[in-house]
Amino acid sequence: MAGKTTTADSARASAEPGTLTLVCVLGWAIPGGAHFWLGRRQKSAVFFVVLTLMFAIGLLLQGRLFSFDFSEPLGALAAFADAGLGAPWIVARVLGAGAGEVRATTFEYGNTFLIVAGLLNYLVVLDAYDIAVGRK
């Protein structure tokens, strides 16, 4: 069917590398930001609220924001996961939050919330990328 264009085709055509980069960076920096940019407002609102809430709960449970210390490979991986949340992670680091209290009962729970929030945001960014290139 030459000459007929679908929505996916037009999305693919408009998916310039610069726009895709912007979508990914926006999605990383603000949870749900990329979906908002792409017009998926409902999804965007859910991602923003839930992921930010998970991050805040992780901090409240006295979880630790790991640093990129490559002498401890697992810690560096956890830091990569934490960093997935973009702006909230940057703000927390700047404010000195997320020092972590190892003796707290909820320390590991806090780490889990922080790490999973970041990893989920990476998934959200990949989803936004798929939408931007017309795969979804």
Which positions lie near another protein, rule CB under 8 A? Answer: 42-43, 46-47, 50-51, 53-54, 57, 61, 105-106, 109, 112-113, 116, 120, 123-124, 127
Q: Which of 107, 114, 7 shows the shortest CA–CA distance to 53?
A: 114
- For residue 14, the minimal CB distance to another protein (Å) is 20
| Least distance CB 106 / another protein (angstroms) | 6
Q: Using CA atoms, how far apart are residues 37 and 32, in angstroms rounded to an integer?
A: 9
- At 64, phi and psi to the nearest 5? -110, 140
Q: Which is nearer to another protein, 49 or 72 (CB)?
A: 49
Q: Rounded to the nearest whole angstrom, what is the least distance from the CB of residue 96 to another protein in the complex?
A: 23
